[in-house]
Structure 1
Amino acid sequence: MSALEKALAHSKKIGIDECDIVRVKKKITTIRITDSEITEVKQNFDTSFGIRLIHNKKITSFETTNEEKIEEGINNASKSLSNLKSKEFWQGLPHKAEHTKLEGTFDKKLDHISGSESTDIAQTMIDYANNQKINTITGSLNIVSENFEILNSNGLDFSNNATYISGIINAESEQGKIPVSGIGHASGRTLSNFSAEQIGQDAKIMCIESINPQKIDSDKYSIIFEPYSVGELLAFVVAYNFNFKTFVEKKSCFSKEYNKKISVEEFSLVDDPHIPEGIGTKSIDDEGVKTTKRNLIEKGIFKNTYSNLFDSYKEKKESTGNASRPGSPMGRSTEPIPIAAPHNLKIISGEQSQEEMIKETKRGILVGRLWYTYAVNPIKGDFSCTARSGIKIIKNGKISGPGKSVRIIHSLPTMLKNISAIGNNQKNVIQWASLPSITPSIKAENIVINPI
């Protein structure tokens, strides 16, 4: 009998109505790059457990890394139940784990990768970022191999192996009047679709092309957001508004817009948990509910939200299969109480290349990376962000040169209705410890920017 089975048997023995237990066994390889060289190679092997107990519709939980202490933890947690208030809306944990095998989520090469092989990948990232105009290279490479297992007292029993890889390079230059930087990034689930060379090259090109930037005057511009910057907006501004809990509590800027047009018709936003190579791709969610593709915005119309069991039951609805126990730097964790989160936010590609988008822009800027992105007034959809890397000034369909840092304070509802082009250059993007997304470049009109 496994540790998880013993835990379920013990919870039943002491009279607990429902119990679910997750175990995550993880190998994490982390390589850190500082001052243009590898400064740390670290491999961690972790196993942890998360247990949730539900009795008389009261919910308690705990987390542990000590397998021998699970039964003791169950006893201690059960004692706290008498002090808790019943969640009368609770309808029960799932039963059978209905799932399908998904391609592009597990790679034996990544699962068995050695420290020296990982170091070679990181060194390639550095080599391709190197240039006489680059002063400093920093970054990291993270490779995760995990086994996720979930059992519950209703008979659900699911185990899954997964691999993840993500690399980022930040190249900095002091060759011009002011310091500038460039970023290169890639992520995925298999080694064969991961390009260390491209990461380094992207960072180098962005950095070199940013040397001697010019001041950009305060005004309204057309802005072309490249995939990495769109991913930032999706993670820190957009996703929140489609959380079912946020929606029903009227804290979303779209709470009154269900089934209404909230963007241009050409824009569609999907939560796709089944796409190959997606960092958030999975067949069942972290409570054992089958995942499904959901159209959040379909041809401009607000169609769906995402939710877990608890938030759905509270409104007498069914879970959408979006329970998440996010792990760092990627994958799952044993957080005993899952949250609701999208799996892979995907913007459906358009037909234009980024070059065509630039040619059709009379007065605008191209933004490669955003920093400090956050909601200023979430209920209205107002947000703020800073463009500090990869800024290019566009005049009459041509890039005239690099631009200095600018601040953007704008409104999400307004921006979605002013999208004028969607690129065909879709890319996997994941911000540090944030939501994964798959997105092309996006062009939006009439955005006010202010120089910093």
Structure 2
Amino acid sequence: MTNKLLFFNPDYFASLFEKISKKLDKYNGIKHYEMYSSSNKQTTISYEEGFIKKAFKKNSSGMGLRLIGLNGKEGMTFTSDYSDSAIERIIKDGRIMMRVSTENPEFKNLAIPSKNYNSVEDIYDPEIDNLNLEEIKDIINPIFDLKKKEIALHSLSGNFSSSIQSVYIFNSNGINQNEKKSSVNINSEISLLGNSGFPSSGFSWQSESHLKDLSVENVAEKSYQMAYRGLDKISVETGKYPVLLSPLAVAFFLVDPISKAINSEAVQHKMSFLGDHLNEDIGVKSFTLIDDPHIPGKLSTSSFDCEGVATKPIKIIDKGVLKDFYYNSFTAGIEGIETNGHASRSHYSSTLGISNHNLIMSEGKEKWEEILSGIKKGIYFDYTGDSPNYVSGDFSGLILTGSLIEDGKITKSLSEALIGINLLDAFKKIETISKERIWIDEAYVPWVKLSEATISGRK
């Protein structure tokens, strides 16, 4: 097996891909080929009740090989072994799979090199690369310090993980790209036991590209405060209420569904509630959403996508108008247009997909607390674990964390409250957007007030 240090060396993969290309060029039946390799160095620590339960380091690397024959027939194989015998095996298996696969007349071509690639900054943090377990224990101590709070914890768990990933992409059209990135994640899950005898749960997390941007103290305090507020819950009467969405709710309830619904594969298969609304008004004029892959130091910053195509900023929603969908080379080929750099892969062994980069929502003119102060009676919506119907846009789900707003103040937490609204209606009911915005993973989002939504309380 190759020395693991070589897995992060671009020269090693350039040499490997050149060797594989020479082998593939000998076979007349192969019309196109693509090699995608990823290498990952990961450290993970999980903890319970203030003690480290498990800790491990893992280095992994592998390559996926796609072979395309006549009429779009495709064979895909992969390996985590770069030895000569393993390479010969995946080439042989890929050719067999290509020959017996179904014809795909919709396939036009693999990705072609872009004319310009924007260099991106601060996506690799050597401090994360050099972390040791003793340093990580010091980093997560603020989570353990929650045990010192006035109300004792009923349970405490979570994990810390860091990752260094390198990606190498090469294809027969001349794509040849590589990039090295870092990421770090911390999460905290706790529960408190109140006078009622029933536990109340709280959670929080943060993911960043740089260790310096991680605030473990903030994650710990947010998880505790969520659980603390939940010790005193009330039911609300069913009805229509103004709803103030926290940035977390905006990210997962408004923005994330948009990023999934503008997936061109879903649109082409009539599986998206936004598929028939391109260049139409879908929201209020104050609603703008941009996908920007070039913001320094952010999780989804990259100079190219998972096919090696240059990334570029695009406007998804411009003053309420839906302007674009996400494409990879295959879905773009179906429509006879160029891909806009949104190809994705979850793993070197996975098939090609589509996903977003950094998502930036427009800011408003009022501070979020000023928006809150103007709500006499309403709902503060923070998080739901439920997802909308991406075909219809309908959403009906449990507000896992949310509170009643009374006379401009957030008061008691909600018990078993449901929110119901169609997302197209929600975009039109955006009444106010806050001046402040914060990062939730790869989304930069404000507080948003909806004029109304149906809230169903427990009977």
Same topology, TM > 0.5: yes
**Worse overlay, 264-273 or 297-306:** 264-273
Q: Tell me if 1:54 matches 2:68.
A: yes
1:302 Cα deviation after fit: 0.7
Amino acid at match of 1:4: F
* 3-state secondary structure, aligned to 2:349: coil
5+ residue gaps, structure 2: 1-13
Q: Which residue of 2 aligns with 1:6?
A: 19
Cα distance change of structure 1 residues 32 and 353 upon mapping to structure 2, 3 Å threshold: farther
SS of equivalent to 1:276: coil
Distance 1:276 1:370, change over 3 A: farther
Pairwise mapping of residues 1-400 of structure 1 onto structure 2 (< 5 A)? Answer: 2-15=15-28, 16-56=30-70, 57-68=72-83, 69-96=86-113, 98-127=116-145, 130-133=148-151, 134-177=153-196, 178-234=198-254, 237-326=257-346, 333-371=347-385, 373-376=386-389, 378-389=390-401, 391-400=402-411
Alignment check: 8 A CA contact 1:184 1:202 kept: yes
Q: Which runs of 4+ in 1 moved over 6 A?
A: none
Secondary structure (helix, strand or coil) at the match of 2:449 reads strand
Counterpart amino acid of residue 16 in structure 2? A
Deviations 1:235-263 (CA, angstroms, capped at 9, x unpaired) = 76332221122223333222222211101
Please list the CA deviations of residues 313-333 of structure 1 after superposition, one character each: whole Å capped at 9, or x if unmatched.
11212111000012xxxxxx2
Query: Which residue identity does 1:78 align to in structure 2?
Result: R
Q: Which residue of 2 aligns with 1:441?
A: 447
* Counterpart AA for 1:393: L
Over 3 Å counting, the alpha-carbon distance change for 1:85 and 1:400 in structure 2 is: closer
SS at match of 1:311: helix
- Indicate the RMSD between aligned Cα atoms, in angstroms: 2.0
Amino acid at match of 2:405: I
**Paired residue type of 2:76:** S
Q: What displacement does 1:291 show?
A: 0.5
2:156, 2:188 within 8 Å by CA — same for their partners in 1?
yes
- Flag the 1:242–1:117 CA change in 2: closer, same or farther, 3 A: same
Q: Deviations over 1:317-363 (max 9, x none)?
A: 2111000012xxxxxx2135210111223222223322112111122
- Report if the CA contact (8 A) 1:234-1:345 is conserved: no
CA contact (8 A) 2:74 2:97 kept: no
Following TM superposition, by how much is the alpha carbon of 1:201 offset from its aligned partner in structure 2, in angstroms?
Answer: 1.5
Listed as ranges, the gaps of 5+ residues in structure 1 are 327-332, 431-435
C-alpha displacement of 1:209: 2.6
Letter in 2 for 1:100: N
Give 3-state SS (helix, strand or coil) of 2:113's partner: coil
| Separation in structure 2 between the aligned mates of residue 276 and residue 204 of structure 1, nearest angstrom | 31
Aligned CA distance change for structure 1 residues 115 and 234 (closer, same or farther; 3 Å): farther
Give TM-score scaled by structure 2 length. Answer: 0.90
Distance 1:290 1:130 in 2: 50
Residue of structure 1 in register with 2:9 after alignment: none
Residue 296 to residue 115, structure 1, CA distance change in 2 (3 Å): same
Give the Cα separation in 2 of the matches to 1:49 and 1:289: 18
Shift of 1:128: 5.2
Name which of 425, 429, 434 aligns with 1:423: 434
Q: Does 1:402 align with 2:428?
A: no
AA partner of residue 291 (structure 1): T
User: Percent identity among equivalent residues?
Assistant: 24
Pick the structure with greater CA Rg.
Answer: 2
Kindly tell me the number of residue pairs found equivalent between the two proteins: 438
Closer/same/farther in 2, CA of residues 286 and 348 from structure 1, 3 Å limit: same
